[in-house]
Structure 1
Amino acid sequence: MAPKIFIDGEHGTTGLQIVSRLQDRADIELMSMPPEQRREADVRTKFLREADIAILCLPDDAAREAVALAADAGTRFIDASTAHRIHPDWAFGFAELCEGQAARIAAAQFVSNPGCYSTGALALIAPLVAAGLLPADYPLTINGVSGYTGGGKQLIAQMENAGQDDAITAAYFAYALTLGHKHVPEIVSHAGLTRKPIFTPAVGRFAQGMLVSVPLHLDLMTGIPSMAQVHASLAAHYAGSAVVEVAALSDAATLARLDPEEMTGTDRMKLYVCGKEGAGQVNLVASLDNLGKGASGAAVQNLDLMIGE
C-alpha cells in the first residue's frame, strides 16, 4: 500500500512547491483537506493522525501543535518550520551533512527540514570543522542573498505589488540587522561551532535563487591550509553526491561573477572555492534555489529517504 502523505499548510509558498513535486507520483497517496474544511480542527487532526508522514509547512507554534496532535498515533513528521531544528529528538534533514545522516533521516519519526541559508552555510562550514581544518571558535562571517519568495506570501506581495501601502521598491535590501536571524542557532548546533557567527542576510528583486558566502583567512585555520587543501576537503566530503557538487578550482578561477539564480528550478546545490592561491584568503560560496534544496526540494528528498526511495 502506498504511504499516505499529508501536507499541513499546502497552500503556502513551501507547501505549494511540495505539492507540485508530489502530485503526479504513483508511489504515494497524497492526502488533501477539502477547501471548505481547512479551518475545522477536528478534520485537520484526523488527517494528521491518518497520515503515514505529515509535512508541516506552518509557523513554529502551529507546527508544535500538529506534532502534539498526532505523534502518539505513529505519524512521522517532516517539519519545515524553525520549531525543531535543534531539538535533540529530531533528525536534521540535511542528508549530505555528515556520514550516517541519511540513515538517521530514513529511520526517524521526526525530521526537521533545514533553513535555506543554513543549508548553504552548513554545506560549506560543517565539513571543514569535521575535518579539523576550521576551528570551532573561528570568528565566522556569513553573507547571503536570497530570492524574495523565501519570505513567504507577505514579502512576495510587498515585492510584486508596487501599489500596496507597504510595498518594497528596493532592488536589494539587507535585514536581520540586529544579528538575531533564526537560522543562526541551527548553524551553530549542526556545524559544531563554539562561537556564534555574524550572519548578514539580504533579499534581491528576483523570485528564487540564493548565494551564501563564507570568507576565510587561511592563517586562522588549523595548519594554515592552502586554498587547494580547503577545496580538496570539501570535494572529498561530497564525492559521489548527486545533490551537492563542488566546482573545480579551475572552473571557479574563470568566473567573473556568480548568479544567485544559477540553481533556480533545481533541488541541488553547487559549492565554489574562490580566491587566489597563495593570497591567504578564500571565499566559499554555496549556490542553491531557496525553494529547492533550501526548502521544498529538501523536504521531498527527506520524504524519499523516509519511504525508502
Structure 2
Amino acid sequence: MTPLVFIDGDQGTTGLQVQQWLHGRTDLRLLQLPPGHRKSAAHRVEALNDCDVALLCLPDDAAREAVALVRRPGVRVIDASSAHRTSPGWVYGLPELHAGQAARIASATRVSNPGYYPSGALALLRPLVDSGLLPADYPLAIHAVSGYSGRGRAGLDDHEGAGAARAVPLQIYGLGLHHKHVPEIQQHAGLAHAPVFVPAYGHYRQGIVLTIALHLRLLTAGVTAERLHAALQARYTAQACIEVQALAEDADAQRLDPRALNGTNRLRLAVFGNARTGQVLLTAVFDNLGKGAAGAAVQNLDLMLGLSAAAPLEPAAA
C-alpha cells in the first residue's frame, strides 16, 4: 500500500517547502487536514496516529507535545524542530554524517532532522575529526549568515511585510554564546568542547554561507590544506547531495554567494588555504530551506520508506 505521510505544521515555512518538494509524487500520499480541522486537537491526534510517517514542522515545545500524542506503535516520526537532535532514542537525520548513518535512518522509528547551520558545520568537521586531521579539542569558531527565512514567519514579515523598507540588512545574534545549535554541533562532530558559534541573518530570503577558520600550527603535524581537502573529497565522493569544490588556484578571485544552491538539496564544501601564514578556511554553501530543512526532511522520508528518490536534489516541478 502507498505510504501515508502527515505533515504536522504544514502551513509554516518548512511545512510549505516540504509540500513543494513532495508535489506531484505518486509513490506516497499526503494526509492533509481541511482548514477547519487544523486547530482541532481531536482531528490532529487522529491524523498523527493514522499515518505511516508523521513529519513535524513545529516549534520545539509543540513538537514534543506531538510526539507524546503518537500512540500507535507503527507510526514513524521525523522531527524538523531542534527538540530531539541530541536526545537518546532518536537517530540524527544527516545521512552523510558517516558511512552507516543512512542505514540507521532507514530503519529508525524516530528521526531528528538536523539544524540548518549544523548541517554545514558537521559536513565540514566530522570527516576531519574522524580522520584525526582535526583534534577534537581544537578551539573552533564557526561563522554563518543565513537568509531571513531562517527566522520563519517573523523573518518573512520583517523583510517582506509592510515594514520591509526598514529591515536591518545584517543582524548578528546569539551573542550570549549559547545558541541552541551548539550542543548539536558538538555532539555530532565529536568535539571535546563547545565551539564558538556566531550566526547572522542577511537581507535576502534564503541561502547560507558558513565558514570555519583553522590554524595549521594547531593541527596534527604535517596537516595541510591539501590533506584537509582530500579527506572531505574521500568522504563525499559517493554522496549525491554533497559536493567538494576543487582547490582554488586563485582563491582571492573567488566569491561565495549564499544563494548559489537555493532551491536544491545540495551542499557545496570548499577549502581555501594560505601556505605562507598557515591558515585555512573551510566553507559551506547551501539552502537553509533545502538541505537545511525541507530537502533534508524529504531525503530522510525517502530513506525511511525505502523509496527510490532517497537523495532528492531538487523539489518536484510545480
Normalising by structure 1, what TM-score? 0.96
Could you say which residue in structure 1 is the equivalent of 2:152?
A: 152
Contact 1:135 1:221 in 2 (8 A): yes
1:23: Cα distance to partner? 2.5
Equivalent-residue separation in structure 1 for 2:249 and 2:60 (angstroms): 41
Pairwise CA RMSD of aligned residues?
1.4
State the one-letter code of the partner of 2:299: Q
Give aligned-pair identity as a percent. 53
Could you say which residue in structure 1 is the equivalent of 2:313?
A: none
CA displacement, residues 84-130 of structure 1 (integer Å, 9 cap, x when unaligned) = 00012111000001010000000000000000000000011111001
Could you say which residue in structure 2 is the equivalent of 1:120?
A: 120
Contact 1:81 1:113 in 2 (8 A): yes
Could you say which residue in structure 2 is the equivalent of 1:296?
A: 294
After superposition, the Cα gap between the structure-2 partners of 1:111 and 1:161, relative to the gap in structure 1 and judged at 3 Å, is same
Could you say which residue in structure 2 is the equivalent of 1:222?
A: 220
Equivalent-residue separation in structure 2 for 1:174 and 1:188 (angstroms): 21
CA displacement, residues 130-163 of structure 1 (integer Å, 9 cap, x when unaligned) = 1111111110000000000010001210122253
SS in structure 1 opposite 2:152?
A: helix
Question: 2:169 pairs with 168, 171, 191, which one?
Answer: 171
After superposition, the Cα gap between the structure-2 partners of 1:12 and 1:138, relative to the gap in structure 1 and judged at 3 Å, is same
Structure 2 counterparts to residues 1-12 of structure 1, below 5 A:
1-12=1-12
Is residue 2:23 matched to residue 1:23?
yes
State the one-letter code of the partner of 2:290: G
Is residue 2:137 matched to residue 1:137?
yes
Could you say which residue in structure 2 is the equivalent of 1:99?
A: 99
Equivalent-residue separation in structure 2 for 1:67 and 1:215 (angstroms): 38
1:252: Cα distance to partner? 7.2
Contact 2:267 2:286 in 1 (8 A): yes
Could you say which residue in structure 1 is the equivalent of 2:234?
A: 236
Contact 1:142 1:197 in 2 (8 A): yes
SS in structure 1 opposite 2:26?
A: coil
Q: Which consecutive residues of structure 2, in runs of 5 or more, have no partner in the other structure?
A: 308-318
Normalising by structure 2, what TM-score? 0.93
Contact 2:14 2:289 in 1 (8 A): yes
1:72: Cα distance to partner? 3.9
Q: Which consecutive residues of structure 1, in runs of 5 or more, have no partner in the other structure?
A: none
After superposition, the Cα gap between the structure-2 partners of 1:282 and 1:70, relative to the gap in structure 1 and judged at 3 Å, is same
State the one-letter code of the partner of 2:113: N
SS in structure 1 opposite 2:145?
A: strand
1:174: Cα distance to partner? 0.4
Could you say which residue in structure 1 is the equivalent of 2:282?
A: 284
Equivalent-residue separation in structure 2 for 1:251 and 1:10 (angstroms): 45
Contact 2:248 2:272 in 1 (8 A): no
Could you say which residue in structure 1 is the equivalent of 2:260?
A: 262
Equivalent-residue separation in structure 1 for 2:100 and 2:250 (angstroms): 30
After TM superposition, what 4+ stretches of structure 1 lie above 6 angstroms from structure 2? none
State the one-letter code of the partner of 1:147: G
Is residue 2:248 matched to residue 1:250?
yes
State the one-letter code of the partner of 2:54: A
CA displacement, residues 42-89 of structure 1 (integer Å, 9 cap, x when unaligned) = 100000001100100001111111111115432100100010000121
Could you say which residue in structure 1 is the equivalent of 2:314?
A: none
SS in structure 2 opposite 1:82?
A: coil
Contact 2:273 2:279 in 1 (8 A): yes
1:183: Cα distance to partner? 0.7
State the one-letter code of the partner of 2:77: F
Equivalent-residue separation in structure 2 for 1:168 and 1:102 (angstroms): 44
Equivalent-residue separation in structure 2 for 1:147 and 1:97 (angstroms): 24
Could you say which residue in structure 2 is the equivalent of 1:56?
A: 56
1:251: Cα distance to partner? 6.4
Could you say which residue in structure 1 is the equivalent of 2:315?
A: none
SS in structure 1 opposite 2:70?
A: helix
Contact 1:228 1:277 in 2 (8 A): no
Contact 2:146 2:288 in 1 (8 A): yes
CA displacement, residues 247-293 of structure 1 (integer Å, 9 cap, x when unaligned) = 01036737431111111111110001012235311000000000000
Equivalent-residue separation in structure 2 for 1:32 and 1:15 (angstroms): 12
State the one-letter code of the partner of 1:206: Y
Structure 2 counterparts to residues 172-211 of structure 1, below 5 A:
172-211=170-209
After superposition, the Cα gap between the structure-2 partners of 1:252 and 1:188, relative to the gap in structure 1 and judged at 3 Å, is farther
After superposition, the Cα gap between the structure-2 partners of 1:85 and 1:252, relative to the gap in structure 1 and judged at 3 Å, is farther
Contact 1:252 1:273 in 2 (8 A): no
Equivalent-residue separation in structure 1 for 2:296 and 2:159 (angstroms): 25
SS in structure 2 opposite 1:73?
A: coil
After superposition, the Cα gap between the structure-2 partners of 1:252 and 1:161, relative to the gap in structure 1 and judged at 3 Å, is farther
Equivalent-residue separation in structure 2 for 1:183 and 1:32 (angstroms): 30
